[in-house]
């Protein structure tokens, strides 16, 4: 039922060991303390009875002539240790015992330990019990003590059985979530990333179960992203490759003339492939933290002006007004200028592609706490709320944007480069009124 070395078996053995140790310790303690108390009680009762009988004996006879016979039959028993002594009223030994012979006078310091025998006319004698004498039980007392000992053994055995039963129940209950986690982990190892376990109400096992479910959900999401990534890469590679293959086959078969226009198409599609591969490489390096940053103080306004100058021909061609709106007085920020320029290029390129003729793309920068905040806003159609949370994901493109160009990696690369600088990036959009992408960098 339980595997050797399993947590359940170890817990059961631990519970049994603790329960058994506690039960046996309690039984031993009760046996020792209880038997000692019983012995003291019976001994005191026995000594009290002996004292009364000795007083009655002296009252009947007026002397201790029959005391020796009384001691022989009622006091001295085999195996009871050193025998007690009977003393007369003056402390002289009448019946030998306790290390004294008949006729000896017991010293006052030892006489203080003797039990006085008090008659109606006063003290008639003493009984001196030796220090090493143990309790002496009669047959009834011995039978009672034996029954008590057997009862203690029964309680110990019962406690052991209860400890084993509780150990099995508690160990099974405690390890049930662990077994569920084990099965779920095996399922995840087999590729079933959507495996989850029932979360206990509270405690460390509950925290572990919740962490496992979060990990499983993250793995399932990552697997789905990898599938989409593979599909999107295949989709984005297929179009330029199909064009290149089609044109080269047509050139080979003589169906297309080897003109400059034909080779321009081939060159443009090859550049498209090169850009896609370079974007994937950049994104991979940035997300893995392997990209090296060449940090230096840079004027934020200069970064914006450089971006506007670079994209101004494209903006004029599309009939879009591209300009810097604000940024005066913002102090230098320590960044990798090329990487942040790449971020701004991607954001502006994305904004220009989604802004109709007659629209505007506005760049700005301002102080924000202990950092600076860059903004790139457009007057395009905006982004639906359902899409806004996903626009920084790789290859994510809303249905309306699909087919308008771009690899779907621009915003993902921008997010990775900003986060590599220790910054944050976000977006705000009102459908029909435009979109603003903003990112913040520490000074």
Predicted confidence band of residue 42 (pLDDT cuts 50, 70, 90): low
Give pLDDT tens digits for 326-344.
777 889 999 999 989 999 9
- Tell me which residue of 41, 47, 39 sits closest to 134, measured CA to CA: 39
Q: Average pLDDT, stretch 260-269?
A: 85
341 located within any domain: yes
366 located within any domain: yes
Q: Which residue has the tokens 């992203």?
A: 225
Question: What Rg do the C-alpha atoms of the chain give, in angstroms?
Answer: 50
Query: For position 53, what pLDDT does the model report?
Result: 84
Q: Are residues 281 and 329 in the same domain?
A: no
Q: Are residues 378 and 424 in the same domain?
A: yes
88 located within any domain: no
Q: Which has more confidence, 405 or 48?
A: 48
Q: Which residue has the tokens 């771009």?
A: 406
Q: Which has more confidence, 136 or 110?
A: 110
10 located within any domain: no
How far does CA 111 lie from the centroid of its chain?
Answer: 71
Query: For position 312, what pLDDT does the model report?
Result: 93
94 located within any domain: no
Highest mean pLDDT out of 117-126, 136-145, 402-411: 117-126
CATH code where residue 302 lies: 3.30.565.10
Q: Average pLDDT, stretch 303-315?
A: 93
Q: Are residues 336 and 227 in the same domain?
A: no
Query: For position 329, what pLDDT does the model report?
Result: 82
Q: Are residues 389 and 358 in the same domain?
A: yes
What is the spatial distance between Cα 67 and Cα 60, in angstroms, rounded to a whole number?
Answer: 12
Q: Are residues 349 and 419 in the same domain?
A: yes
Residue 396: count of CB within 10 angstroms of its CB: 18
Q: Are residues 393 and 270 in the same domain?
A: no
Q: Are residues 398 and 317 in the same domain?
A: yes
What the block records as the tokens of 237 is 């590679």
Give pLDDT tens digits for 157-192.
777 777 777 777 777 777 777 777 778 888 877 877
Give pLDDT tens digits for 359-387.
999 999 999 888 999 999 999 898 888 88
The residue from 288, 312, 332 where one domain ends is 288
Q: Are residues 280 and 304 in the same domain?
A: no
Give pLDDT tens digits for 183-221.
888 887 787 777 777 766 566 777 777 887 888 887 887
The residue from 262, 288, 314 where one domain ends is 288
Q: Average pLDDT, stretch 6-20?
A: 68
> For 372-409, where are the alpha helices, taking DSSP H only?
385-388
- Is residue 138 scored above 70 in pLDDT? no
339 located within any domain: yes
Q: Average pLDDT, stretch 3-16?
A: 65
Q: Are residues 304 and 430 in the same domain?
A: yes
Residue 1: count of CB within 10 angstroms of its CB: 7
Residues 6 or more apart whose Cβ sits within 8 Å of residue 255: none
Q: How many helices (H) and strands (E) does the chain have?
A: 10, 11
125 located within any domain: no
Q: Are residues 258 and 306 in the same domain?
A: no
How many structural domains is the chain composed of? 2
- Name the percent of the chain lying above pLDDT 70: 80
What is the spatial distance between Cα 390 and Cα 388, in angstroms, rounded to a whole number?
Answer: 5
- Tell me which residue of 389, 332, 365, 355 sits closest to 438, measured CA to CA: 365
In contact, 85 and 103? CB cutoff 8 Å? no
- Is residue 6 scored above 70 in pLDDT? no
Q: Average pLDDT, stretch 83-92?
A: 85
What the block records as the tokens of 340 is 């942040």
Q: Are residues 306 and 428 in the same domain?
A: yes
Q: Average pLDDT, stretch 39-59?
A: 74
Query: For position 438, what pLDDT does the model report?
Result: 94
Tell me which residue range forms the domain holding 253.
223-288
Query: For position 64, what pLDDT does the model report?
Result: 85
Q: Average per-residue pLDDT in the chain?
A: 79
Query: For position 78, what pLDDT does the model report?
Result: 40
Q: Are residues 274 and 300 in the same domain?
A: no
- Is residue 306 scored above 90 in pLDDT? yes
What the block records as the tokens of 72 is 């022989």
- Is residue 133 scored above 60 in pLDDT? no
What is the spatial distance between Cα 11 and Cα 163, in angstroms, rounded to a whole number?
Answer: 12
CATH code where residue 238 lies: 1.10.287.130
Predicted confidence band of residue 403 (pLDDT cuts 50, 70, 90): very low
Query: For position 31, what pLDDT does the model report?
Result: 59
In contact, 394 and 407? CB cutoff 8 Å? no
The residue from 257, 288, 319 where one domain ends is 288
Q: Which has more confidence, 133 or 53?
A: 53
Q: Which has more confidence, 355 or 226?
A: 355
6 located within any domain: no
Query: For position 399, what pLDDT does the model report?
Result: 45
């Amino acid at each position: 039922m339980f595997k050797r070395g399993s947590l359940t078996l170890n817990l059961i053995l631990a519970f049994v060991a603790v329960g058994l140790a506690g039960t046996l310790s309690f039984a031993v303690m009760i046996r020792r303390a209880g038997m000692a108390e019983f012995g003291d009680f019976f001994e005191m009762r026995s000594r009290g009875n002996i004292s009364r009988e000795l007083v009655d004996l002296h009252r009947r006879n007026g002397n201790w002539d029959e005391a020796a016979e009384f001691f022989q039959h009622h006091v001295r028993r085999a195996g009871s240790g050193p025998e007690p002594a009977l003393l007369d009223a003056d402390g002289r030994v009448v019946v030998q015992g306790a290390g004294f012979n008949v006729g000896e006078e017991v010293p006052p310091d030892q006489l203080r330990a003797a039990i006085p025998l008090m008659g109606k006319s006063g003290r008639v004698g003493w009984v001196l019990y030796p220090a090493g004498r143990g309790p002496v039980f009669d047959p009834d007392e011995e039978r009672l003590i034996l029954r008590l000992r057997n009862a203690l053994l029964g309680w110990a055995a019962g406690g052991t059985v209860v400890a084993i039963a509780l150990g099995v129940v508690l160990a099974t209950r405690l390890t049930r979530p662990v077994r569920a986690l084990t099965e779920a982990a095996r399922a995840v190892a087999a590729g079933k990333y959507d495996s989850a376990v029932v979360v206990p109400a509270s405690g460390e096992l509950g925290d572990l179960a919740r962490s496992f479910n979060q990990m499983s959900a993250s793995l399932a999401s990552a697997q789905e992203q990898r599938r989409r990534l593979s599909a999107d890469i295949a989709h984005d590679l297929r179009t330029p490759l199909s064009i290149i293959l089609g044109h080269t086959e047509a050139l080979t078969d003589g169906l297309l003339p080897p003109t400059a226009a034909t080779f321009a198409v081939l060159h443009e599609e090859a550049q498209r492939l090169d850009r896609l591969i370079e974007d994937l490489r950049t994104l991979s390096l940035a997300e893995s933290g392997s990209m090296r940053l060449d940090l230096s103080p840079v004027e934020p306004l200069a970064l914006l002006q450089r971006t506007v100058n670079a994209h101004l021909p494209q903006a004029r061609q599309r009939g879009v007004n591209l300009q810097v709106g604000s940024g005066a007085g913002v102090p230098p920020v320590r960044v990798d200028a090329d990487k942040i320029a790449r971020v701004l290029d991607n954001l502006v390129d994305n904004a220009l592609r989604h802004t109709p003729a007659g629209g505007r793309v506005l760049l700005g920068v301002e102080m924000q706490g202990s950092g600076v905040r860059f903004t790139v806003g457009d007057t395009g159609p905006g982004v639906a709320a359902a899409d806004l949370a996903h626009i920084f994901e790789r290859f994510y493109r809303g249905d309306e944007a699909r087919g308008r160009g771009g690899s779907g990696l621009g915003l993902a690369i921008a997010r990775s480069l900003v986060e590599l600088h220790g910054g944050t990036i976000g977006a705000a959009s009102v459908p029909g009124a435009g979109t603003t992408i903003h990112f913040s960098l520490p000074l």
